[in-house]
């Protein structure tokens, strides 16, 4: 009964709609949920990020189970990404532990990194085809050794971004993997990115729990709404124009990024 009383319907409704968008677009929930918690509900940035990371770990675990059952995960890519992301995450958490996460410096750091990450995610959504075409013309396929190295570096960058802002393991990660592994089907790229997000967000989320930035009641409320939302969104994704969804989502992220930065 205590758990039921701790559920906030407004947070659950927000989780439901964010879950639907994640299911329809495949964009990471952090790009949507974290700015929503900060801008609409006034949650402190550090608490919003920390809570969203454990929320993402739970939802990505369900997604990984589905992709694992369908055999659409390339575990070689997951290992390479994790080789870079887990150490980078631990180092970033260590750096954050030296800050007063309730103070102005941490607030400014998180909102600045989050705002920039939202702009980058929106840019990828809008210009993804152009980015891929430019890369194919001027870079092309890399040799296996450089591909492996750049995958580890990509993981490290995602580890830093996700630990500070909870954003990065969705559109940014998928686009980077498409560039590095153009021969792989998109479904395996997405499956591998989701599978990598589980250890990344879990480690980062546990680190934020250690730092004291997790709101348990908020986390429970978000999960109650988002889990059915993701299922419904996934079922509805085949009926919605993909490009229209991406443009609307990009516009939303640009607005949120602008509000955070300015």
pLDDT per residue of the chain (262 residues) written in tens, 0 to 9: 444 556 788 899 988 888 887 776 666 677 888 999 999 899 999 999 999 999 888 888 877 887 888 888 999 999 999 999 999 999 999 999 998 888 888 889 999 999 999 999 999 989 988 998 898 888 877 889 999 999 999 999 999 999 999 988 777 898 899 999 988 988 888 889 989 999 999 999 999 999 999 998 899 999 898 888 877 876 665 566 667 777 878 888 898 999 999 8
Question: Residue holding tokens 């750091």?
Answer: 109
What global pTM score does this model have?
A: 0.88
How far, in Å, CA of 11 to CA of 7, rounded? 8
Angle ∠(161,164,168) on CA atoms, nearest 5: 30
Distance between the two ends of the chain, CA-based, in angstroms?
42
CA distance 232 to 219: 20
CA separation, residue 220 to residues 2, 132, 196 (Å): 12, 38, 23
CA angle 232, 234, 236 (to 5 degrees): 70
CA distances from 127 to 101, 133, 171, 219, 243 (A): 35, 10, 12, 33, 11
Q: How many CB atoms lie within 10 A of CB 54?
A: 23
Domain ranges of the chain: 8-261
| HSE-up of residue 259 (Cα within 13 Å, Cβ side) | 14
Q: Which two tokens stand for residue 261?
A: 């930065």
């Amino acid at each position: 009964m205590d758990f039921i009383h701790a559920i906030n319907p407004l947070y659950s409704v927000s989780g439901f709609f964010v879950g639907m968008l994640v299911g329809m677009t495949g964009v990471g929930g952090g790009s949507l949920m974290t700015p929503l918690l900060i801008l609409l509900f006034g949650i402190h940035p550090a608490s919003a990020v920390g809570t969203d990371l454990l929320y993402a770990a739970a939802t990505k675990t369900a997604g990984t189970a589905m992709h694992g059952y369908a055999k659409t995960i390339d575990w070689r890519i997951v290992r390479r990404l994790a080789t870079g992301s887990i150490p980078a995450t631990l180092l970033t958490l260590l750096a954050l532990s030296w800050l007063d996460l309730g103070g102005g410096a941490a607030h400014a750091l998180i909102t600045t990194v989050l705002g920039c990450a939202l702009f980058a995610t929106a840019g990828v959504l809008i210009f993804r085809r152009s980015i891929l075409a430019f890369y194919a013309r001027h870079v092309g396929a890399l040799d296996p050794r450089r591909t492996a190295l750049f995958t580890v570096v990509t993981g490290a960058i995602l580890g830093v971004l996700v630990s500070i802002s909870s954003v990065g393991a969705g559109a940014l990660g998928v686009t980077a993997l498409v560039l590095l592994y153009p021969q792989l089907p998109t479904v395996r790229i997405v499956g591998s990115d989701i599978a990598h997000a589980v250890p990344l967000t879990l480690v980062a989320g546990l680190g934020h729990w250690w730092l004291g930035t997790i709101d348990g009641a908020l986390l429970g409320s978000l999960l109650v709404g988002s889990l059915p939302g993701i299922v419904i969104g996934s079922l509805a994704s085949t009926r919605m124009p993909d490009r229209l969804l991406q443009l609307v989502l990009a516009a939303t992220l640009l607005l949120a990024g602008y509000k955070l930065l300015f």
